[in-house]
Amino acid sequence: MNVMLRKGLYDAHLATTDAELRMAQKLRYMCFIRGGAAERPDPIDADSFDDRCQHMLVTDRRSGQLVCCFRLMYLTADQIGDSYSAQYYELSSLRAYHGPMVEMGRFCIHPDVIDPDILRVAWGAMTKFVDDHGVELLFGCSSFIGTDQEAYLDAFDMLAERHLAPAPWLPKTKAPNVFRFAADRLCRPLDRKAAMRRMPPLLKTYLMMGGWVSDHAVVDTDLNTLHVFTGLEIKSIPPARARALRAVAG
């Protein structure tokens, strides 16, 4: 195992064997599929994109337990239609984006392990990958657990008010079942505290770094999630946060 990053109790490295990939697929199944409509006898989450991605694993150095994983696909602008996200969002506007991109997907943390250092190590490893490959845009889908739109109205209102993508990069609707923020938001004062409580941790991190989102959520009944397209231009990360991330990345 070639450790990319070692911090505290955790190591981060890219999977190099089929066994390591299967570990990630089992954790993804636990987080995204178990108990949902797509539950299946073989408890793994696998698709055709796995072979085209690199898979980051974060393990507990004491036990070897996999506590976090995500996958990375390096793309250029003319390949945006080949991304996982392009199945759900019309992304042709991003063909005009100049610079290398990476799609980050299937990000998950073991539900029985609660330690904020895991997310820090994951972002440190991501930062090192981004810097090593000269990436200028990081994007993917940020997932809200469940498909009850009413449960996340405050969060969606906040996204609509403060965090929509710049007009040139705004994804258009493609999926048949979506929840539109601008059309469906309630005419009431925004409860920011409630919004932040309901925001997924990964999306919170994106937003704190200057990330932006689509103007709608896709209703994914197979994975029992509502997800929003999320983008982060590396040059837009506030300098203090960029320094903090690179300090973790070592």
Residues 221, 29: Cα–Cα separation, whole Å = 15
Residues 195, 207: Cα–Cα separation, whole Å = 13
Backbone torsions φ then ψ of 178, nearest 5 degrees: -135, 160
CB-based contacts of 6-9 (< 8 A; 24+ apart in sequence): 6/61, 7/117, 7/120, 7/121, 7/124, 7/248, 7/250, 8/117, 8/121, 9/60, 9/61, 9/62, 9/115, 9/117
Residue pLDDT, tens place only, 181-230: 865 455 567 788 888 899 998 999 999 999 999 999 999 988 888 999 99
Residue pLDDT, tens place only, 71-103: 999 999 999 999 999 999 999 999 999 899 999
| pLDDT attached to residue 39 | 59
Its pTM stands at 0.91
Residues 60, 48: Cα–Cα separation, whole Å = 28
For each of the domains in the chain, give its residue range(s) and CATH number, in order of start: 5-249 (3.40.630.30)
Residue pLDDT, tens place only, 121-155: 999 999 999 999 999 999 999 999 889 998 998 89
